[in-house]
Structure 1
Amino acid sequence: MDGVLVVGAGPVGLTAACQLARLGITVRVVDALATPTTESRAVGVHARSLEMLAALGVLPALEARGRRIGVLAMTDGRSGDTRARIPVGDIASRHPYVLDIPQPDTEAVLADRAAELGVAVERGTRLTALAQDGEGVTVTLAGPEGERTEQVGWVVGADGGHSTTRHLLGTHLEGAFHGQHFAMADVDVDTSLTRDTIWMFTHPEGMGIHFPLAGDRARVMFLVEEPTADAPTLAEIQSLADARMGGRLRVRDPRWLAYFEVHHAQVPQYRHGRVLLAGDAAHIHSPAGAQGMNTGMQDAANLAWKLALVVHGRADARLLDSYHDERHPVGAAVVRKTTLLTDVGTASGPAGTIRDVALFLVGHVRRVSDAAATQMAELTIGYRDSALSVRHGRHHGDVRAGDHAPDPDGLQRPDGTPVTIEELQATPGFLLLVHGGPGALATTLGDLGTVVAIGRDVLDPEGALARAYGNRDGMVLVRPDGYVGLVADTTDPHVLRRYLADTLGVAVPAVA
């Protein structure tokens, strides 16, 4: 029983499935919905996720369906004054923008990539029971042909905020359950608002948010009191827009109108033996800042390479404990930040005055604005305190083990054509960047990844890589999820072997 069952065919589950499949794991995906959702749901994809999706090979298809957003604007919904404009074009990423794209399009592109990798989605199939032991997980699945019980090696629960997987494990979300209610509309709009900007309107009665999509399409949402109906009418959405967006938006041609309730909570543990939770199954929070789907997809990227090593029998299952250790603090921080952002949007009186002063600083102090954009793009997330982040010897640069791998301009292939770290990561597995001759490192790394010798396989004529990573000798091991695992001032294969064997628990041959 060495296969993985992914429960949930949303962006998180499909990301996990794609990442596992490209690492050679047999994956099955089940989803309770008989057909893919047509509801726009999550729409904003941030830079850190775009980097991962580019390496996965799906970014061009996503770009063709979405709209690039270059600015987040915070505007007073009563006066119409814009308190802060936060440009994202200068963030340290190859993708300095937000891609606004309806969730069904994201799912369609990821499902196509999964199919290319040999993964099919079993629709109309629900997980109804599970039990596990040291050998695997017994799951009961109810599908179009009835109920069946099967054995799988591992289960990834990515089945959303009402997760059946979480319920069957007997674990619960812990946090604030007073609930916040939003009215949401997927509509076409006529507006004077610029289409390259996500607009967040502050208002004492509740924030309003406008996400421009491709063409005239947009997602608009408003924080509201507890509703008494199943869904708002188009007229009610227009009334909210008039009141909180200064009459700058006319809505028409609705595709989806809905109310939804948001809590701010998280499960205490992401790993339960052979069952692991990701995305909304592990953490739920306000849509403010468009962090939820991105956090979930990054959960999947973090988990997949570790689970692949374990399933292949290359690493001890204890490696999976690092999934919780690294991602649980990230989820907790997102819950805190989105709760704060929602509260900021509704502040009035003295709190509103303080909010407006803070927004003025964000909008007018470049350093503060850049920091806000970088944080929103999830570029500040790292794992420096992780047990998997190791530095050997001296290091003089800003990059530390646990940071996301820098991707500087100026690298070339031997034929002179440009190349990026992102492109190199399109090859599944670890990426070992070696300054100088690789020696026995390729033998030590083996089939776990690719060794790239700077000066032989990739040229760095201007020293951009050395400046970015802080040393001109030694090696850097980039994990499959794009984060730096090992930084060393030597190319001694024993150092690499100790990292793989002792830190990751990976079985590797002895160095001669």
Structure 2
Amino acid sequence: MSATNGVLVVGAGPVGLVAASQLARLGVPVRLIDVLEAPTDESRAVVIHARSLEMLAALGVRPQLEARGRRVDRFEIADGRTGATRAAVDLTGIPSRHPSMLDIAQPDTEAVLAERAAELGVVVERGVELTALAQDADGVEVTLRTAAEDETARFGWVVGADGAHSTTRHLVGTHLEGGFHGQHFAMADVEVETSLAPTTGRMFTHPDGVAMLFPLRETRARVIFLVDDPGDAAAPTLEQIEALTEERMAGRVRVTGSHWLTYFEIHHAQVPQYRHGRVLLAGDAAHVHSPAGAQGMNTGIQDAANLAWKLALVARHGADPGLLDSYQEERHPVGAEVVRVTTTLTDVGTASGPLAALRDAAMFVVGHVPALGEAAAERLAELTVGYPHSSLSVRHGAHRHGTAKAGEHAPDPEGLRRADGTPVAVEELLERPGFVLLVHGDDGALGDVLGDLGTVVPLDADDEGMALVRPDGYLGLVADTTDPDVLRRYLADVLRVPAAVTAI
């Protein structure tokens, strides 16, 4: 592996596996390490939202994930004492090819992603710990420890995806900033008996603390409870989980057995910078927050998708490293919003007295005003994430009413169909690594300009123009012309790819 362009990914959870796989797809040499000797059997994250599933579909793993999970098309907020539904979010109408949540145990998610990584030539090196790093203008020198020896290696870049207690974060000298009062949760994978629909995820409000229920396959479910500081206890007992379930889920759920029990503490915080020279942080290494809304793993997966294509442009195609500043520019505000919203959800769910009455009234409005319910569904599914104000989002010429804007997620292209007449989705186009350039009109020399950065896809349309879909599915350049110079200037001036790469 060349020290100048090879990437070390630290952490083989979902975020690290997605980062490594996407880098490998884009032709970047990758080494993936994890300090654990074996994959975790702890199922901490269990929900994949629609936006993440679109990205994972482009990676080629959607069918395998769906085979191991359960589709959940509704999310309810209910009173944990009476069982009354306060608000319901219907996901079946969201603007995605995957109008639901996919509930799947994290070990299953990791197994599918590890298989895909191996297909791409990336094998997880287990029992390998990052113990030191030092960087200069040309690369990063690291010390990797195994049971047998310490190894010194050099890489062009390091991606820290090693979780909430990130060693990478510590070694670059940064720390999480935010609410450090700490909140404690009891979490368990259990077998349940319930008359509640298995296609609905739920959050129960209760003065003693919120409770959450996510159905998994068959009779298995994930339950989560906000609890008092458990002290030195590493995990709750099954009897404690049974009691919490009975008390905070209005007696609607009965626990009949357990697979895994744990306590964990959340500090609602974020690092101030995601990029530290040649070291970049993603997922829980960069932000931690409440599990309310099941946003954590999804935010991390989308961090990885955003970062990987930019790092590939720099490591493989010689783009100016300044391009990587856009990772901070685009993803830090998303992480900050997730921290804010999940903190609010947790606090609101625990309200009592007049605040509880106000909360219930607000939820009633959300549940009975269709526009508000639709907006809540799209937000829960993370379909509202976009980068309209990013320096990478460029509009050339006039905007046509009704068309997508730069920085938005690319819609499925109109007029593009398979041989059987069914429409082609943008996620299918992104199964081929790199950018996708959608062209209305004469594509001329555009393929020569784009080169091996991606694929040109001609579309039938009356209006001339082009749209450059980034590998993470978002629109970079949107133009009302097919002039090759417009594309060339975008690649050279905005993405900072050397002129030699984009020359005809």
Aligned to 2:489: 498
In structure 1, distance between residues paired with 2:485 and 2:47: 44
How many positions carry a matched residue from both structures? 498
In structure 1, distance between residues paired with 2:169 and 2:324: 18
The 3-state SS of whatever aligns with 1:276 is strand
Residues 306, 235 of structure 1: alpha-carbon distance in 2 compared, 3 angstrom cutoff: same
8 Å CA contact retained: 1:494, 1:511:
no
Of residues 426, 443, 446, the one that matches 1:441 is: 446
1:320-339 to 2 correspondences below 5 Å: 320-339=324-343
In structure 2, distance between residues paired with 1:414 and 1:349: 61
The 3-state SS of whatever aligns with 1:20 is helix
Give the counterpart letter for 2:361 in structure 1: V
In structure 1, distance between residues paired with 2:426 and 2:336: 30
Aligned to 2:259: 255
Q: Cα distance, 1:313 vs. partner?
A: 3.7
Give the counterpart letter for 2:22 in structure 1: Q
1:49-128 to 2 correspondences below 5 Å: 49-128=52-131
Of residues 358, 383, 389, the one that matches 1:385 is: 389
Q: Percent of pairs identical after alignment?
A: 68
1:15-30 to 2 correspondences below 5 Å: 15-30=18-33
Q: Cα distance, 1:380 vs. partner?
A: 0.5
8 Å CA contact retained: 2:416, 2:459:
no
In structure 1, distance between residues paired with 2:419 and 2:188: 51
8 Å CA contact retained: 1:493, 1:511:
no
In structure 2, distance between residues paired with 1:371 and 1:417: 28
8 Å CA contact retained: 1:202, 1:345:
yes
8 Å CA contact retained: 1:72, 1:86:
yes
In structure 1, distance between residues paired with 2:100 and 2:147: 42
Aligned to 1:450: 455
8 Å CA contact retained: 1:207, 1:345:
yes
Give the counterpart letter for 2:228 in structure 1: E
TM-score by length of 2: 0.97
Of residues 137, 142, 145, the one that matches 2:140 is: 137
Of residues 13, 16, 24, the one that matches 1:13 is: 16
In structure 1, distance between residues paired with 2:126 and 2:7: 17
Aligned to 2:195: 192
Q: Cα distance, 1:507 vs. partner?
A: 1.7
Of residues 474, 477, 487, the one that matches 1:483 is: 474
Give the counterpart letter for 1:355 in structure 2: R
In structure 2, distance between residues paired with 1:225 and 1:9: 31
Larger displacement relative to structure 2 (10-19 or 239-248): 239-248
The 3-state SS of whatever aligns with 1:384 is coil
Residues 417, 247 of structure 1: alpha-carbon distance in 2 compared, 3 angstrom cutoff: closer
Give the counterpart letter for 2:274 in structure 1: Y
Q: Cα distance, 1:144 vs. partner?
A: 3.0
2:344 maps to 1:340: yes
Residues 355, 489 of structure 1: alpha-carbon distance in 2 compared, 3 angstrom cutoff: same
In structure 2, distance between residues paired with 1:449 and 1:97: 30
2:137 maps to 1:146: no
The 3-state SS of whatever aligns with 2:180 is strand
In structure 2, distance between residues paired with 1:166 and 1:314: 26
Give the counterpart letter for 1:31 in structure 2: D
Larger displacement relative to structure 2 (82-91 or 223-232): 223-232
Q: Cα distance, 1:155 vs. partner?
A: 0.3
Aligned to 2:298: 294
Aligned to 2:220: 217
8 Å CA contact retained: 1:58, 1:113:
yes
The 3-state SS of whatever aligns with 1:200 is strand
2:264 maps to 1:273: no
Q: Cα distance, 1:415 vs. partner?
A: 6.9
In structure 1, distance between residues paired with 2:265 and 2:281: 21
Aligned to 2:361: 357
The 3-state SS of whatever aligns with 1:254 is strand
Residues 500, 57 of structure 1: alpha-carbon distance in 2 compared, 3 angstrom cutoff: same
Q: Once the two structures are superposed, what CA deviation does each residue of 1:410-455 show, in whole Å capped at 9, x if it has no partner?
A: 6314674542221111111010000012001011111100000113
Q: Once the two structures are superposed, what CA deviation does each residue of 1:373-429 show, in whole Å capped at 9, x if it has no partner?
A: 100111001001000000000112342100000125763146745422211111110
Q: Cα distance, 1:163 vs. partner?
A: 0.2
Larger displacement relative to structure 2 (143-152 or 352-361): 143-152
Aligned to 1:462: none
TM-score by length of 1: 0.95
1:399-410 to 2 correspondences below 5 Å: 399-407=404-412
2:421 maps to 1:430: no
In structure 2, distance between residues paired with 1:231 and 1:166: 27
Residues 96, 417 of structure 1: alpha-carbon distance in 2 compared, 3 angstrom cutoff: closer
In structure 2, distance between residues paired with 1:415 and 1:248: 47
Give the counterpart letter for 2:247 in structure 1: A
